[in-house]
Amino acid sequence: MESGEILRRVYEARRRRLREMWETLKSNRAAYVSLYVVGFLVFIAIFGPFLTPYNPYDFDLSRARQPPSFAHPFGTDELGRDILSRILEGARYTIGISIASVLLGVVIGVILGLASGYLGGLWDTVIQRIVDVMLAFPTVLLAIALVASLGQGVASLIIAIAISTFPVYARLVRGVVLQVVNEDYIAAARLLGKSKIYIMFKHVLPNSISPIVVQATYYMGLSILLASALGFLGLGVPPPTPEWGAMIGSGRTYLFSSPHIVVFPGVFIMISALSFNLLGDGLRDALDPKARALLRRG
């Protein structure tokens, strides 16, 4: 058989693998539903502002704190702004900030964790001491300090959350890497004459990925909460931007008289955090060929 034909088969096998991954993800009901929920959230994060029935910034005190009705499905807030419109408008801030900050945090954390666990020695000592210091700060306090020094805004919020969460990934990755490095196939890769950097990214990283995926999706929810907490303290996205956490913060005074002001953004935060977690769980199984085979057989 000639090389072109064999290569065609390799690609065919790869397509089959992608299909298998998809099937595995689909077989996990919760993850499959979450995929659509996440898709929907991303959709409103992108197109939300074009779908708002009212201007999310227009206030009208005569319509303040109205309960849900046909005109305002989620009711109005303390300034008479339509909550549905504000949620649609605010999705891009909340979802965008959490995705961007988690991605940034994971990239920094994974690179430092890999270097620390795989290269060892001085790298390990320096990186881990930095991580120690950063973990010693309470996350929220660190984020406050960072936002205060970077100035308010979406970009500095993302950077602040990423910097205050990356030590967790760095520590996690280091631990997993220390285990993976002792696996025989890493010794075999060294023996076959592959370079250190190549082995680090091509052999160590893929085998350390599943706890990272789980941790990252868990932190999606957490970073939404962190962004909200900063918003609550007046350090998040500046008002009147309808970031979901800030909406809860400003509506908290009316928690007992008009709970819908807090409940609807809260429900959206909860749904986002939950669906990211469940999706991460499904992804981890789908990405692991061994788990894939097991699940398909079972």
Partner 1 sequence: MEKVLEVKNLRIYYELPQGIVRAVDGVDFEVYKGEILGIAGESGSGKSTLALAVAGLLRPPAKVVSGEVLFMGTNLLSLTEEELRRIRGKRISMIFQDPSTYLNPVYTSGFQVAEVYEAHRGGSWRRYVGDVVKLFRMVKIADPERRVNAYPHQMSGGMKQRVLISMAIAEKPELIIADEPTSALDVTIQAEIVELLNEIRKETGSAIIFITHDLALLLEIADRIMIMYAGKIAEIGRAEEIAKDPLHPYTKALLSSLQYERKKRLQAIPGSIPSLISPPPGCRFHPRCPLAFDICSKKDPQLYRVGGRVVSCFLYGGDHGGSA
For the CB of residue 157, give the shortest distance to partner 1 in the complex, in Å: 35
With contact defined as beta carbons under 8 Å apart, do 165 and 144 qualify?
no
Give the contacts of 255 (CB within 8 A, at least 6 positions apart): 262
For the CB of residue 5, give the shortest distance to partner 1 in the complex, in Å: 8
For the CB of residue 96, give the shortest distance to partner 1 in the complex, in Å: 31
Q: Which is nearer to partner 1, 267 or 293 (CB)?
A: 293
DSSP string covering 259-281, please? Answer: THHHHHHHHHHHHHHHHHHHHHH
Which residues is 76 bridged to in the sheet?
82
For the CB of residue 183, give the shortest distance to partner 1 in the complex, in Å: 7
Residue closest to 83 by CA, chosen among 59, 112, 117:
59
Q: Which is nearer to partner 1, 17 or 29 (CB)?
A: 17
Give the integer Cα–Cα distance in Å for 68 and 58. Answer: 18
Which single residue is written with the structure tokens 């967790």? Answer: 168
Q: Which is nearer to partner 1, 7 or 126 (CB)?
A: 7
Distances (CA, A) of 28 to 39, 42, 193: 17, 21, 40
Q: Which is nearer to partner 1, 3 or 149 (CB)?
A: 3
Q: Which is nearer to partner 1, 206 or 239 (CB)?
A: 206
- Residue 269's Cβ-side half-sphere holds a number of Cα atoms within 13 Å equal to 28
For the CB of residue 20, give the shortest distance to partner 1 in the complex, in Å: 11
With contact defined as beta carbons under 8 Å apart, do 271 and 37 qualify?
yes
Q: Residues interacting with partner 1, by CB under 8 A?
A: 1-3, 6-7, 9-10, 13, 183-185, 187-195, 198, 203, 206-207, 288-290, 293
For the CB of residue 164, give the shortest distance to partner 1 in the complex, in Å: 31
Give the integer Cα–Cα distance in Å for 274 and 38. Answer: 10
Give the integer Cα–Cα distance in Å for 21 and 296. Answer: 10
Q: Which is nearer to partner 1, 7 or 267 (CB)?
A: 7
Q: Which is nearer to partner 1, 240 or 289 (CB)?
A: 289
For the CB of residue 14, give the shortest distance to partner 1 in the complex, in Å: 8
Residue closest to 65 by CA, chosen among 242, 267, 258, 241:
258
Q: Which helix (H) or strand (E) holds 139?
A: helix 139-150
With contact defined as beta carbons under 8 Å apart, do 86 and 247 qualify?
yes
